[in-house]
Amino acid sequence: MDQFKGQPRLPKFAVPKRYDVRLQPDLVACCFSGSVAIDLDIVAPTSYIVLNAAELSVSDDAASFTNRDSSKVFKPSRVELFEQDEILVLEFPDALPIGLGVLTIQFDGILNDRMKGFYRSTYEHNGEKKNMAVTQFEPADARKCFPCWDEPACKATFKITLDVPSELTALSNMPVIEEKINGNIKTVSYQESPTMSTYLVAVVVGLFDFVEDHTSDGVKVRVYCQVGKANQGKFALYVAVKTLELFKHYFETPYSLPKLDMIAIPDFAAGAMENYGLVTYRETALLYDEQHSAAANKQRVAIVVAHELAHQWFGNLVTMEWWTHLWLNEGFATWVSYLATDSLFPDWKIWSQFLHETTEGLKLDGLAESHPIEVEINHAHEIDEIFDAISYRKGASVIRMLQSYLGAECFQRSLASYIKRHACSNAKTEDLWAALEEGSGEPVNKLMDSWTKQKGYPVVSVRVNNHKLEFEQSQFLSSGAHGEGHWIVPITLCLGSYDVCKNFLLQEKTETRDVNELFGSQIPQEIGPRSWIKLNVDQTGFYRVKYDEGLAARLRYAVEKQLLSATDRFGVLDDLYALCMARKETLTSLLALMGAYREELDYIVLSNLITISHKVERIVADAIPELLDYIKQFFINLFQFSAEKLGWDPRPGESHLDAMLRGEVLTALAVFGHDLTLDEASRRFQAFLEDRSTQLLPPDIRKATYVAVMQRTSKSNRFGYESLLKVYRESDLSQEKTRILSSLASSHDPDLILEALNFMLSSEVRSQDAVFGLAVSVEGREVTWSWFKENWEHLLKTYGSGFLITRFVSAAVSPFASFEKAKEVEEFFATRTHPSVARTLKQSLERVHINASWVQNVRNEQHLAQAVKELAFGKY
């Protein structure tokens, strides 16, 4: 049997065709029993059957194999479950005949509390605490519910039967075909599913309300939620029905099941999960309350619903062959969720907000410890860690870059052809490239290999030399180190106007282009001192740009005069910030550019300006503490204009983006210590405590107000902290609870921060939500690290088998900025290594080193102190 241990994939001598699964969950004892009959095709001589199973008990006499032709029953002589490899090995005394047969297994398991496999989630009904049973199988946890070939390429059909308490709702992927009640237990049988992967099988059992609608071609769509919350499902229902219609046309293939259920689960580790026909969500990603949800919550629901429904085609109908190609699922669903949301809500300008996705991808991929989009996976334990910004955000960004290069129509036609060609089967990255190459006539495979098979991305340096533009590409690393990567880069550029645009492929390390030849008759008569040149127009490319001094000065002027689009104003700032962190540009030059945004009002630009401001504040605090008050004053000056324009109260008919921006700007002013903002927040919070329905604290400014209140709260002045806990305890809206959790640790008092962190691990906070409380102030870094070390064993036990553990590691380690601290972290983990955090730990330590080098650089920067003081006094 040992020959099967330590293998990344299951042996191929048996192929599953159909599963008949019966489960009986006990919601009081928190366990389940079950049986599975698997139609198998034995395709090679073997006396073994090897499949996946984990955390299940299977007795020696609980398995048998019956040959279809002879009806002969084969009993295994040995049944062994290897927990470390998560495999169940059945050894038979004789070789099994080639051909079809049925493998039957009885088993028992635990309804765990770790939000994976077959697990329990808790909820309250009429004041009584109850359990529901839920499945979460992606990436590799169907094996914790029933023995199976738990690999995406092992597609089969599934017939599910559930024995459950008769008063409960029981849902699975397909519609119910029969219910039989026998006393207080009912047996629910479902239609057989189409061919699908094990990770998409789903079961939910509990008490629920629902709202319902239909698509134009008769697909029944329901949103299920806790009893009493049905109204909060209406917005997601609207989005789902419209999105199914949209994708049917975009992919030129109808939705393939007769129904679609979406359900809000109180305890849920990810944002959502695209189970075929039964999509599960965190409450915050599905429910929207007109009275108490913010504009940002509404947008999140729309994007997450669109993302999961995109998977019904891209992932469920056509599935990646192995986890190496996860990005095909996640990158694509991320990209197309913006396409759908833009179609439904054009006034949200969602494509400009896509830059948030790109920036997160660039941040992670700027690390030496990043990984290629296509990453080798050799063990199930490694899969969780690649559900990251590379698979989702870089994946989505390179798809957007390719769509921009090939053109929207050609791209859509090729995708539809890819979906039709690989429906009900599996695909690799190369299959998508082949379809796009066929549809466009472009060398897509050659172009895209440099983006998916190697990690990182380029920075393209551009300088003017007489009438020539000189381009040079090199790998960008946030550490400032030299990288070896080389890419085929789709360059787009504008000269002085969006009417004068060109594009070409930068294939060599350095290339020179004559301006006259490049732009020809489009070129202005005279390239004056104010004629700006902008590369990567509207930021559709996944690369950074470094301009020579003259070009940078012209772009600063173009930003100040609002001559650039919002996406390009975003790009100019984000690139310079990244170059500054990598010590390729000075902090003085970054601050000078930031000053050009003082009259900025666009949501995406200001949102990024705020993020960058917080990071710069932290670096200055570590490098030159005596400049901290000046830098804060500069940032307060920077956001005053937008704060005054937006005010505290929503204006009739204002845009969705202004509603989101108001909260972000006020939060920034609060964190930078703007007294007038802190005073006003305090006044409004007091009114809210006296009357929860006051108009003075609409949902869009609650987070800002909570953060502001915590700025003046300390161990000796606890009123704000205690008041927020009271609001937390009284609210049953998940979005309100997470707003409060993400504000509690923003105090400046380490003792109170420690109290807030301990609260995150209390029974009052669902384990999925504890990570929200890790948003601590600079003063909280040391106490967070100490708390993390003290609670490491508990964190590992609670989160160690899922991706949430990586959030704790990153939040506790990444904010530091000294080489000594990096060494201390390394020493702590030297004896505490765990496979699920290995990659995240390396990335977090690299970030500490990057911060430390940046701090040293800032300390040595000449003229910085003078520049900061002048900016603080309004001299731009």
The single residue of 308, 330, 437, 560 carrying the catalytic annotation is 308
Mean pLDDT confidence for 542-551 = 97
Over the stretch 633-650, which tens digit does the pLDDT of each residue have?
A: 999 999 999 999 999 999
Q: What is the pLDDT of residue 755?
A: 97
Structure tokens belonging to residue 33: 């029993």
Q: What is the pLDDT of residue 801?
A: 75
DSSP secondary-structure letter at 715? Answer: S
Nearest to 503 by CA among 552, 550, 540, 551: 540
Q: What is the pLDDT of residue 381?
A: 79
Sheet holding 272-273, edge to edge: 209-214, 220-225, 259-265, 278-282, 272-273
Over the stretch 472-519, which tens digit does the pLDDT of each residue have?
A: 999 999 999 999 999 999 999 999 999 999 999 999 999 999 988 888
Mean pLDDT confidence for 722-726 = 98
Element of type H or E holding 656: helix 656-671
| % of the chain at pLDDT higher than 90 | 94
Nearest to 591 by CA among 558, 631, 541: 631
CA distances from 641 to 662, 708, 867 (A): 12, 19, 21
Over the stretch 742-780, which tens digit does the pLDDT of each residue have?
A: 999 999 999 999 999 999 999 999 999 999 999 898 899
Residue 545 to residue 568: CA distance in whole angstroms: 12
Cα dihedral angle (564, 567, 571, 572), rounded to 10 degrees? Answer: 20
Over the stretch 283-335, which tens digit does the pLDDT of each residue have?
A: 999 999 999 999 999 999 999 999 999 999 999 999 999 999 999 999 999 99
Mean pLDDT confidence for 533-550 = 97
pLDDT at 422 over 60: yes
Can the peptide bond before residue 139 be classed as cis, meaning omega within 30 degrees of 0?
A: yes
Identify the residue with better confidence: 500 or 38.
38
Nearest to 173 by CA among 51, 69, 52, 312: 312
Over the stretch 517-537, which tens digit does the pLDDT of each residue have?
A: 888 766 655 555 568 999 999
The radius of gyration of the chain's CA atoms, rounded to the nearest angstrom, is 28
Residue 502 to residue 504: CA distance in whole angstroms: 7
Q: What is the pLDDT of residue 235?
A: 98
Residue spans of alpha helices (H) in 345-394: 350-365
Mean pLDDT confidence for 408-436 = 97
Question: Is 736 a known active-site residue?
Answer: no
| % of the chain at pLDDT higher than 70 | 99
Element of type H or E holding 92: strand 87-96
Q: What is the pLDDT of residue 524?
A: 57
Ramachandran assignment for 863, one of left (phi > 0), alpha (psi -120 to 50 degrees), beta (any other):
left
Nearest to 147 by CA among 65, 85, 54, 60: 54
Structure tokens belonging to residue 165: 């308490």
Which range among 3-7, 628-632, 814-818 shows the weakest confidence by mean pLDDT?
A: 3-7
Structure tokens belonging to residue 161: 């039967």
Residue 24 to residue 29: CA distance in whole angstroms: 12
Nearest to 381 by CA among 767, 837, 842, 4: 837
Mean pLDDT confidence for 424-430 = 95
Residue 741 to residue 775: CA distance in whole angstroms: 9
Q: What is the pLDDT of residue 384?
A: 83
Over the stretch 20-37, which tens digit does the pLDDT of each residue have?
A: 999 999 999 999 999 999
Average pLDDT, the chain: 96
Q: What is the pLDDT of residue 527?
A: 54
Structure tokens belonging to residue 606: 């200001």
Structure tokens belonging to residue 539: 């930021």
Residue 45 to residue 602: CA distance in whole angstroms: 66
